[in-house]
Amino acid sequence: MADFDAKSIVDRSRAAFNAGKCKSLATRLEHLKNLYRMIDEHEKDFCDAMKRDLNKPYTECMGYEITLAKNEIIGYLENLSQWVKPERVKKPLFMLGQDAYIRREPLGVVLIIGAWNYPFQLTIHPLIGAIAAGNTVIIKPSELAEETAKILADLLPKYLDSDCVQVVNGAVKETTALLEQKFDHILYTGNSVVGKIVMAAAAKHLTPVTLELGGKSPVFVDKNCDISTAARRITWGKFVNSGQTCIAPDYILCEEEVKDQLVQAIKDTLKEFYGEDPQKSNDYGRIINERHFKRLEDLLQGVNVAAGGKTVIDDKYIEPTIVTDVKGDEAVMQHEIFGPILPIMIVKDADDAIRYINSRAKCLALYVFSTDKNIVDKIQHDTTSGAYSVNDTLMYGAIDTLPFGGVGTSGMGAYHGKHTFETFSHRRACVVAKLGMEAANQIRYPPYSEKKYSWAQWLMAKKPKREGILGFWPFTLLAMIFAAFFAKKVMRRGRGDSGDRPSIRSSL
Ligand code: NAD
């Protein structure tokens, strides 16, 4: 890309944004409908591209890329006109009569940098929320998923206004040039090393970032669970897309007594899913490129392979592999694996698992398989992670009402569903006051006085809530009055007193 000019690309987006070209609700909805049409009319083309990039099975492409994106758009079409409405907020007493509300406004020019493992979903999902929020968008798909990047660059301009959405294809050089420009928000998906580069570049312009990073997502398998069901759900979550899923279970922690049964159950499941030879299975993917293939092959050096282990460089094939007798300081436990290698490390109990998890960087997802509520609650309480999922893997990512994102080193910010719209919107605080009743404002204007001060205090200062029953003082007061009334009645009945006031006449 010799003639790559990042400045004019961003200038074009900025000009469109400043002209309000992509801002009206009607334009946003139109764009979303066109995006839906693009996906609908070309889903096979997209899946063919992902087949060439990752040998992604058609079912996985439709399930985790195409259908999720279409669902996301339908959710936006159904809800966007509500979400853009001003959100009225509670006001303090002294603001009575004034209008206070939050208005969601577009941020401006947004840059979306996608990753290669779900090359369609990871660019289209953020794009949906960014255009729905009224921004102009530049997307930079991952160059490693070359075929998907090409088709995105080819089709998006045919369905969306290119002033509002531009696609830039390129690698480090082009991304670096883009990052020198000023954006109003950057959403980056990828590894944390590049995440730091993106954040440093954004800091120069005080541009906010959403970083969707990775890390080692653990699974704790408790002895109190159905091991064979746990094995199926873990096997699926780990080996879908050949382990190249950001929220894939990275490694398993379990007690010694569980290990053999678990290893056998995973082996049986692998056979059921991918047959005797997964290389021949239509449902098993490939490693994205030789660099990642070699990185994964190196992780297998000197480890105890309990199943799998076969690697074929010409086919970028790595067999689903289980590694046992793993120690915390081994290479396979140092960095995110991001491939079809599943280490199993022995812990003494749930507390030991918690200690190990907490000694590592904060993870994107933490999975627990257990029927013991105490263990499930304890691990949730004593750890942190982007997401916490019990007795299943990956599926939480399909619940678009949940924020999808990391914590600490696994990322910052979140998206999916309405959360994407929020990520790409500025929540502008708006107050519309009336010009009348100026006399009431005298108490806030100088010259100050004791009297003004006490009025201001009475109107403005909040009182801490009292704890316990006394906190409900009107209720307590009423209850005391009733109690007194009934006590009096009962005492009079006891004395044979009707309670009627004695007349002066009768006492004469
Ligand atoms: P990648 O190689 O596709 O890189 C991501 C993007 O960064 C690409 O668009 C690339 O062009 C750009 N890039 C690469 N080097 C750069 C540089 N020096 N300067 C500027 N831009 C640069 O993807 P990857 O990093 O290999 O992705 C895998 C990682 O992403 C894993 O850690 C995975 O867990 C994580 N991931 C996270 C999520 C999530 O939603 N949290 C999703 C997918 C992947």
Ligand 1 atom nearest residue 179's Cα: 20
Residue with tokens 């010409």, as numbered in its chain? 314
Residue with tokens 């109003």, as numbered in its chain? 184
Query: Which one of the listed residues 212, 255, 319, 336 is annotated catalytic?
Result: 212
| CB contact at 8 A, 421 and 411 | no
Task: Report the DSSP pairing between strands 317-318 and 321-324.
Answer: unpaired
CA of 191 to the centre of ligand 1 (A): 5
Nearest CA to ligand 1 atom 13: 172
Domain 6-213+420-428 annotated CATH 3.30.540.10: no
The answer to whether domain 6-213+420-428 and domain 218-402 are alike in fold is: no
Domain ranges of the chain: 6-213+420-428, 218-402, 437-507
**What Å distances lie between residue 164 and 81, 132, 161, 232, 424, CA to CA?**
20, 11, 5, 44, 14
Could you confirm whether 41 is annotated as catalytic?
A: no
Whether the CB of 411 sits within 6 Å of ligand 1:
yes
Ligand 1 atom nearest residue 171's Cα: 11
**What Å distances lie between residue 27 and 23, 493, 498, CA to CA?**
7, 78, 78
Q: What is the pLDDT of residues 207-216, one digit of tens each?
A: 999 999 999 9
Mean pLDDT of the chain: 93
The number of C-alpha atoms within 13 Å of 90 and in the hemisphere containing its C-beta is 2
Coil, strand or helix at 425: strand
| pLDDT tens, per residue, the chain with 508 residues | 557 899 999 999 999 999 999 999 999 999 999 999 999 999 999 999 999 999 999 999 999 999 999 999 999 999 999 999 999 999 988 888 899 999 999 999 999 999 999 999 999 999 999 999 999 999 999 999 999 999 999 999 999 999 999 999 999 999 999 999 999 999 999 999 999 999 999 999 999 999 999 999 999 999 999 999 999 999 999 999 999 999 999 999 999 999 999 999 999 999 999 999 999 999 999 999 999 999 999 999 999 999 999 999 999 999 999 999 999 999 999 999 999 999 999 999 999 999 999 999 999 999 999 999 999 999 999 999 999 999 999 999 999 999 999 999 999 999 999 999 999 999 999 999 999 889 888 999 999 999 999 999 988 888 888 776 655 555 556 656 666 665 666 566 655 544 444 333 333 3
Ligand 1 atom nearest residue 198's Cα: 20
Q: Which of 258, 259, 238, 257 is nearest to 248 (CA)?
A: 238
Distance of alpha carbon 500 from alpha carbon 489, whole angstroms = 11
Q: Which of 155, 145, 153 is nearest to 119 (CA)?
A: 145
Whether the CB of 113 sits within 6 Å of ligand 1:
yes
Whether the CB of 245 sits within 6 Å of ligand 1:
no
> Residue 508: its pLDDT value, please?
30
CA of 192 to the centre of ligand 1 (A): 8
Nearest CA to ligand 1 atom 15: 172
Q: Which of 326, 286, 291, 290 is nearest to 305 (CA)?
A: 326
User: Cα 304 to chain center, whole Å?
Assistant: 35
Domain 218-402 annotated CATH 3.90.1150.10: no
> Residue 493: its pLDDT value, please?
62
- Among 122, 194, 209, 404, residue to substitute to test ligand 1 (most atoms within 8 Å of Cβ): 194
Which tokens in the block code for residue 122?
């990871």
| CB contact at 8 A, 263 and 344 | yes
How buried is residue 4: exposed, middle or buried, by Cβ count under 10 Å (0-12/13-18/19+)? middle
Could you confirm whether 246 is annotated as catalytic?
A: yes
Rounded to a whole number of angstroms, the CA Rg of the chain reads: 31
CA of 194 to the centre of ligand 1 (A): 7
